[in-house]
Copies of this chain bind each other. A is one copy, B any other.
Amino acid sequence: MTHPCYAVLEVVLAGPDEPVPADRVPFWTAFEHESGEVKRVPGFWDGANRYVVRFAPEREGSWTWSTRSEAVGLSGMTGTVTVTAPAPAEHGPVRVAGTFHFAHADGTPFRPVGATVYNWLHQPEDRFAATVDSLAAAGFSKLRFMVFPQAGGYVEHFPKLLPFERGADGRHDVTRPVVAFFQRLDAAVVLLQSRGIQADVLIYNAYDNGRFGLDGLTEAEDAVYLRYLVARLSAYSNVWWSLCNEFDILDRPTARWDAAGELLAATDPHGHLRSIHNWMRLYDYNQPWVTHASLQLGQATEDFGRASLFRDAYRKPVVLDEVKYEGDVPERWGHLTARELVHQFWISAVSGCYASHGESFVLDDGSLHIVEGGLLRGKSPERLGFLRKLLDDVDGDGLDPIDNWWDAAFVAGIPRREYFQYLGRSAPASWTFRLPNTGMGIQLEVGDRFEVDVIDTWNMTIKPAGRIFELTDVQRNDAFAADSEPVQLPEGEALALRVRRVPQPAVAD
């Protein structure tokens, strides 16, 4: 048997007719690579007497597997599989790269340009599918959505499926998952995968308000659910984990979130990205279980020089998974103009951070796109797709502020290779060539040659300056090309500059 690298290998076993309760892992499977590396993967119950383990190998070669269980029919099963090269365009799960950035397991950089549809999973089929079409067409590469349904002012929809059977006492019985619910969740993740979108799965829910009762599970019940969820989804390469959106809305001790995060890290055999997203109070993203900071703070991307401080504080990737939304609701988080939202994404980019989009125009049914999805109608998504292409073209881990200590121009990039300077919403008439120098590490040198592109972030144009800028003066923190005339800039707002080094000319004798 052969199987492509990074794809989901599914082993299906016939187990007991009476389901093993989900507070016990029905069986464990050890996958052993020919090198001796072993992955221990939990199986899960998938309805009737069907038991499944999912594993996504990240190494080519021969893997043997064997199961262990206390349940009849699930123990002592073995097999061998030869893992071959991955399918084209399959790069494996996304992990942290270069301290502040992301890359797939095969090393391909990944720069998230995120979208947000919290209650997507719980929508009718047509809207569910149309949402993904619309996001994929715009170019979004990550979607935040909740496993549990959302209650609240803008929600009209009561889902047909809930994740657990009810016990005799009327409470959710987490030991009896509703398989159809979780099969639908599987399909949602696979659908996103097929469209090149990372699934940023929000595990717990701060927007229940007691309506569905899923915010009333005990810590032990939460853990049972988490283990089941991880067993089902972890093999899908596009999964990211987020413990909760706006976790601090819930009145819970921080230690409970810490413990849930540590459990998640210990449980996931595939090592997906893990974070938690705040409302008013930031989580301590320095916690070892956290792979990246997924935070919101309204002012952080309103101006230069702010969001990058979170990188300095956490030394992890920073994803501003809510920078307020394009829309027209009166709440202050929900009526950005498209221009303002695009501006904030560019501020995020030159801060060395990533951001997520959301749309909050009031829909005919009273809901919002961030809740139920459907077709995007704002003017920002197209511009964010344009930004994504520019970020995809960056030759390196990602954009870092070159001089994070103090650069009034806030230039980000990769030293001596490529730079982005965003001029903000009112660009000057001209720009005189200047690059920040790091004062340490890789240094610019006199004679280095650069080309410059003028980028209109709103009209989505890239215009080369059409000449070469050669460094004449390199100081500790700045480098200049004194022989070059300034670049005349077009009228209008929201311009950016891309400066890329070009090879030295051949030396003439």
Q: Which residues of A contact B (CB under 8 A)?
A: 280-282, 284-287, 297-300, 302-303, 305-306, 309-310, 312-315, 332, 404-408, 440, 477
Partner of A310, one of B285, B287, B309, B440: B309
15 A-B residue pairings within 8 Å (CB atoms)? A280-B440, A282-B315, A284-B315, A297-B309, A297-B405, A299-B405, A299-B407, A300-B309, A302-B305, A302-B406, A305-B306, A306-B306, A310-B313, A313-B313, A332-B477
Q: Is the beta-carbon distance between B406 and A299 smaller than 8 angstroms?
A: yes
CA distance A306 to B312 in the complex (A): 12
Residues of chain B with a CB closer than 8 A to A406's CB: 297-299, 302, 332
Q: Is the beta-carbon distance between A282 and B313 smaller than 8 angstroms?
A: yes
CA distance A83 to B176 in the complex (A): 64
CA distance A285 to B404 in the complex (A): 18
Residues of chain B with a CB closer than 8 A to A332's CB: 406, 477
CA distance A219 to B184 in the complex (A): 56
Say how far A471's CB is from chain B's closest CB, in angstroms.
20
CA distance A315 to B281 in the complex (A): 9
Residues of chain B with a CB closer than 8 A to A286's CB: 284, 286-287
Q: Which of A284, A405, A408 has the most CB of B within 10 A?
A: A405
Q: Is the beta-carbon distance between A404 and B309 smaller than 8 angstroms?
A: no
Residues of chain B with a CB closer than 8 A to A305's CB: 299, 302-303, 306
Chain A interface, >50% SS class: loop
CA distance A303 to B308 in the complex (A): 14
In the A-B complex, the 8 residue pairs with the smallest Cβ-Cβ separation, listed nearest first, are A298-B406, A313-B313, A286-B286, A298-B405, A299-B406, A309-B309, A282-B312, A299-B305
CA distance A285 to B315 in the complex (A): 12
Chain B, Cβ-Cβ closest to A303: B305
Chain B, Cβ-Cβ closest to A308: B299
**Are A280 and B405 also in contact (CB < 8 A) when A305-B299, A332-B477 are?**
yes
Say how far A404's CB is from chain B's closest CB, in angstroms.
7
Chain B, Cβ-Cβ closest to A278: B312
Chain B, Cβ-Cβ closest to A304: B303
Say how far A168's CB is from chain B's closest CB, in angstroms.
39
Residues of chain B with a CB closer than 8 A to A284's CB: 286, 315
Residues of chain B with a CB closer than 8 A to A405's CB: 280, 297-299
Residues of chain B with a CB closer than 8 A to A477's CB: 332
CA distance A298 to B309 in the complex (A): 11
Say how far A466's CB is from chain B's closest CB, in angstroms.
33
Say how far A334's CB is from chain B's closest CB, in angstroms.
13
Residues of chain B with a CB closer than 8 A to A440's CB: 280
Chain B, Cβ-Cβ closest to A293: B313
CA distance A305 to B477 in the complex (A): 24
Residues of chain B with a CB closer than 8 A to A313's CB: 282, 285, 309-310, 313-314
CA distance A298 to B302 in the complex (A): 20
CA distance A377 to B314 in the complex (A): 39
Q: Is the beta-carbon distance between B297 and A312 smaller than 8 angstroms?
A: yes
Say how far A294's CB is from chain B's closest CB, in angstroms.
14
Q: Which of A287, A306, A313 has the most CB of B within 10 A?
A: A313
Chain B, Cβ-Cβ closest to A280: B405
Chain B, Cβ-Cβ closest to A438: B280
CA distance A282 to B408 in the complex (A): 20
CA distance A299 to B284 in the complex (A): 23
- Starting from the known contacts A297-B406, A306-B309, 6 additional A-B residue pairs (CB-CB under 8 Å) come to A282-B312, A297-B309, A297-B404, A302-B408, A303-B305, A313-B314
Q: Is the beta-carbon distance between B302 and A303 smaller than 8 angstroms?
A: no
Say how far A59's CB is from chain B's closest CB, in angstroms.
31
Say how far A4's CB is from chain B's closest CB, in angstroms.
40
CA distance A341 to B300 in the complex (A): 24
Say how far A298's CB is from chain B's closest CB, in angstroms.
3
